[in-house]
Amino acid sequence: MEVFAGKNTIPIAVFCNLCMVVSYLHLFLTSVLCLNVQPIVWEEQILWASNASGEVDTFRIPMIINASNGDLLAFAEARKFSAGDTGAKFLAMRRSTDQGSSWKPTQFIVDDYVVQDGLNLGAVLYDYEAATLILLYQYCGHDTNSSKCVLVDKGEQGVYVMSSKDNGYTWTKPFNLGQTNPELINYHWAPGPGQGIQKMLAPNKGRLISCGHMNTDEDHSMVCLYSDDHGFTWHIGGTIVGLPQGVTKNIGDLAPGETQVVELPDGSVYIAVRNTHWFHCHCRIHAYSYDGAETFKPEDLFLDEVLLDPNVCGAMILHGGNLYFANAFHIDKRVNMTVRWSLDLGDTWPGTLPIYPGSSAYPCLTSIDYNHIGLVYEKNDYKEISFVKIRLNP
C-alpha cells in the first residue's frame, strides 16, 4: 500500500498564518527577478453564461485543448436543471479557429437525458501516434448502488471514452471502459478534470495517462489510469491512498482529489493534486512517477507550500520548457484566480500573473503557440466560464 509522507509537518494553524505572508513576499521579490517570462493577459471573453439558455441552468467544469489543426476546443458540463454535481447534463463544446479571438456556437456532443446522476467531466488528450482526440468522462459516479443510473437508452455506471479523428467535428459513440477491462466495471473514478497526456519520452513512450480521484466518501484516493493501445483498453495505475481508509474523511485527513498531470523532460510524470481536506496545509499535493504513472512512491510525494490552495481543482501544463500552474490562490476561499510559473520544473514558482480577484475556480490550461497559452475558468460564483489568452513575452 502506498501512503503519503509529506516533507514538512508545521502545525496547520501556524503554517496558514505564516505561509500567506511569506508567499506574497516571495511573489513580489522573485517576480521582479524573473525576466525570462513576462506574461500579460492579452484578451478575455466569456464562453458560457449560466441561465443564458433555456436548455441549461449552469455551465461548470471547463476544459480546453489545442487540437492538431490548431483549433482550440473548449468543453464544459451543461447542467440542465440545477447547479448541483449530480443531475442530467449535456457535454458542451465550443471551437475557435483563430487562436481564441472568436468562438463558434455551442454544440452538445453528449446528452445523458433526464437522469438523477449524470455525466461529469472529465479529461481531454491527444494521441499523436494515432492522430486521435480522446475524451474521458464519468457517468453516475456519486451513487454506489446505481439506483440513479436508470436511463432511457443510455449506458451503465462507470467511466466512458469517446474519440475523434477529425479534431472534434465528429465523435465516436461513447463506450464504457468496463467493456475492455473488467476491473473498471462500475468504477467510481473521476478523471481530471483537465488535460491528460500522451508520453512522448521513455519509459512507456506513447502511453496515454489520465489521473483523477475515487469519489466515494470511503475511498477518496488519487488514481491514474493508463492505456498502451491508443485508448481502447485502460488499466489502473499509480495510487495515492486516502487515509484513514474505509471511512468518511474529515478535515486534516488525507483525501487526494482532482489531479492534473504533465510529462517532464526526463520522461517522469509529475502530478498536482487537490488537497481535499487540507492534509497538513492549505496547499497542493505534488508527486512524481518514474514508471509512466504505474506507481507513486512515498518518497516522491510532497506538499508544495508555495502553491496556496482553498481545496479546489487546479491546472498545470508544460510549455516552452516552463511549468505553468493556475488556481484560486487563497488559503480557504475560491477567489483570486492566478497563473504561476516555474523555470525549474516545479522546484520554485517565482512568477505570478493575477487573472481575476473575485470568485473563481476550476481552471484548465493549454498551449496555443510558442508565445501564448490559454486558460478557461469558472467565474463569478459559477455564473460564467471565461477564456483568457495569455501572452508570455512582449
Query: What is the pLDDT, as a whole number, of residue 263?
Result: 98
* pLDDT tens-digit series, residues 79-110: 999 999 988 999 999 999 999 999 999 999 99
Average pLDDT over residues 176-181: 95
- What is the reported pLDDT for 149? 65
**Dist CA 64 CA 203 (whole Å):** 27
Q: Per-residue pLDDT for 188 more than 60?
A: yes
pLDDT of residue 153: 44
Domain annotation covers residue 193: yes
pLDDT at 144: 61
Mean pLDDT confidence for 19-30: 41
Dump pLDDT digits (tens) for 213-235. 998 777 899 999 999 999 999 99
pLDDT exceeds 50 at position 16: no
On average, the pLDDT of the chain sits at 89
Q: What does the pLDDT average to over 176-180?
A: 95
Q: What is the CATH number of the domain that holds 86?
A: 2.120.10.10
In a domain, 284, yes or no: yes
4 assigned to some structural domain: no
Per-residue pLDDT tens over the stretch 238-280: 999 999 998 999 999 999 999 999 999 999 999 999 999 999 9
Does residue 105 come out as left (phi exceeding 0), alpha (psi in the -120 to 50 range) or beta? beta
Instruction: Assign 294 a pLDDT band (cuts: 50, 70, 90).
Output: very high
pTM recorded for the entire structure: 0.89
> Per the structure, how many domains does the chain have?
1
**1 within domain boundaries:** no
Catalytic site residues? Answer: 85, 362, 378
pLDDT at 113 over 90: no
Per-residue pLDDT at 148? 58
Weakest mean pLDDT among 7-21, 45-59, 84-98, 335-349: 7-21
pLDDT attached to residue 17 = 45
Q: Which residue has the higher pLDDT, 258 or 33?
A: 258
pLDDT of 8: 41
pLDDT for the residue numbered 394: 84
Q: For residue 3, is it within any domain?
A: no
15/74: higher pLDDT: 74
Is residue 5 included in any domain, yes or no? no
SS (H, E, C) the chain: CCCCCCCCCCCHHHHHHHHHHHHHHHHHHHHHHCCCCCCEEEEEEEEEECCCECCECEEEEEEEEECCCCCEEEEEEEECCCCCCCECEEEEEEEECCCCCCCCCCEEEEECCCCCECEEEEEEEEECCCCEEEEEEEECCCCCCCCCCCCCCCCCCEEEEEEECCCCCCCCCCEEHHHCCHHHCCCCEEECCEECEECCCCCCCCCEEEEEEECECCECCEEEEEECCCCCCCEEEEEECCECCCCCCCCCCECEEEEEEEECCCCCEEEEEEECCCCCCCEEEEEEECCCCCCCCHHHEEEEEEEECCCCCCEEEEECCEEEEEEECCCCCCEEEEEEEECCCCCCCCEEEEEEEEEEEEEEEEEEECCEEEEEEEECCCCEEEEEEEECCC
Where is pLDDT greater, at 31 or 91?
A: 91
Asked if the structure places residue 135 within a domain, the reply is: yes
Residue 179 placed within a domain: yes
User: For residue 266, what are the domain limits?
Assistant: 12-391
Q: How far is CA 141 from CA 38, 156, 183, in A?
A: 41, 10, 15
| 260-to-18, 376, 391 alpha-carbon distances in Å | 27, 14, 22
14, pLDDT greater than 50: no
Name 276's Cβ contacts closer than 8 Å, sequence gap at least 6.
213, 220, 249, 255, 256, 257, 311
Q: What was the pLDDT predicted at 3?
A: 39
CB 140 within 8 A of CB 155: no
Please state the rounded mean pLDDT for residues 319-341: 97
Predicted pLDDT of residue 156: 79
